[in-house]
Amino acid sequence: MADDDPGVAPTVESTAEDIAAMRIRGAATIADAAAAALASQADRSEAETPAAFRRQLRAAAKSLYETRPTAVSLPNALRYVLRGTDGETVADLRKSTIARAEAFRRDLDQAQDKLGEIGANRLRDGDIVMTHCHSTDALSCIEAALDAGKEIEAIVKETRPRKQGHITARQLRERDVPVTLIVDNAARRYLDRADHVLVGADSIAADGSVVNKVGTSGLAVNARERGVPVMVAAQTIKLHPDTMTGHTVEIEMRDEREVLAAEDDLDDADDGLVVENPAFDVTPPRYVDAIVTERGQFPPESIVTLMRELFGETTDEPWEA
Ligand SMILES: O=C(COP(=O)(O)O)[C@H](O)[C@H](O)COP(=O)(O)O
């Protein structure tokens, strides 16, 4: 293989494409797929020297990192795997990388189950939960409550423009949960019936701000006004270590075609029309009642303590080395 060939495995390239195109989506699922892609990079690497192996792995991590900017679970997953890559020979490096990626994926599953049990304790028998977007962490709380024999109902916001709420509705119906699907604009009206708002997170900042699918912040403000508690289900891989040193979380802007379908009256025949399509927004900590993680539930303002414990004060970008 030529020296300037990054040697990124085709499986990594296809995972990166699937994440960018949102065929793989949701922060936890993205992290899991990224770790699996690094394992496959290690498995399929044809590197003949440890240095070449490491270079290829870094290039693979970088191509995954550059797919979507907002969910910190992605760089956290890449960092975790790269830090565990250890050995003096290609065989040892391969083995340690695969083992580390497998450990990450196992921990991710276990953390979600544990978080679900903790979150389920906040849900009482007969409660009605309003959801936004599709979050596997949030669903884990509802599933654990159902497993504990509680009856839960859901009001599911559709979540324009990509309607991930439909995935939530389908998965809850598979568990026989009574579901009312509503358009986003109806949320405030239906909050009067809800006992909780339950959402996931793509990133949580050191001040307890929650970055999640666009529309979360408006929902949280309305929920506060209606007296409905807001619960954020987020494994600790959603904690954004860079925010401890003042960095902000980049909000992904997506293609206008997600907003304007081809059959819409307003199409690109109007050259002057500006369409903006931010995928996420920031909910200030004062509108969040609890952040539920696998390490317990926290008021948002105290999440920084957990962040320091887990990440220390500094982070690096090993794929840039
Ligand atoms: O905002 C989204 C998904 O956005 P997108 O569809 O743009 O990826 C989800 O609420 C979080 O990622 C949490 O999901 P999970 O709990 O599964 O990690």
- Indicate if ipTM > 0.90: yes
pTM summary value: 0.95
Please determine whether the domains at 10-114 and 121-311 fall in the same fold group of CATH. no
| DSSP secondary structure of 107-125 | HHHHHHHHHHHHHHTTPPT
* Pocket, ligand 1, Cβ cutoff 6 A: 25-29, 71, 133, 135-138, 164, 200-202, 212-213, 279
133 CA closest ligand 1 atom index: 10
207 tagged catalytic: no
Thinking of the domain 10-114, which architecture would CATH place it in? Up-down Bundle (1.20)
Q: List, run by run, the mean pLDDT of 10-residue segments along the chain (321 residues).
A: 70 98 98 98 96 97 98 97 96 98 98 98 98 98 98 98 98 98 98 98 98 98 98 98 95 94 67 92 98 98 96 78 76
Query: Domain map of the chain by residue range?
Result: 10-114, 121-311
Please tell me the number of Cα atoms within 13 Å of 181 on its side-chain side.
Answer: 16
Residue stretches of the annotated binding site: 25-28, 68, 212-213, 238
Q: What is the pLDDT of residues 255-280, one digit of tens each?
A: 999 998 767 777 655 678 899 999 99
Q: What pLDDT is stored for residue 1 in this prediction?
A: 44
Q: Are 203 and 244 in contact (CB under 8 A)?
A: no
Q: Which protein residue's CA is at the shortest distance from atom 8 of ligand 1?
A: 26
- The strand pair at 296-298 and 290-293 is best described as antiparallel
Tell me how far apart the alpha carbons of residues 192 and 174 are, in angstroms, rounded to a whole number: 26
Q: What is the pLDDT of residues 204-238, one digit of tens each?
A: 999 999 999 999 999 999 999 999 999 999 999 99
Task: From the candidates 32, 127, 137, 202, give the one annotated as an active-site residue.
Answer: 202
Q: What percent of the chain has pLDDT over 70?
A: 96
Thinking of the domain 121-311, which architecture would CATH place it in? 3-Layer(aba) Sandwich (3.40)
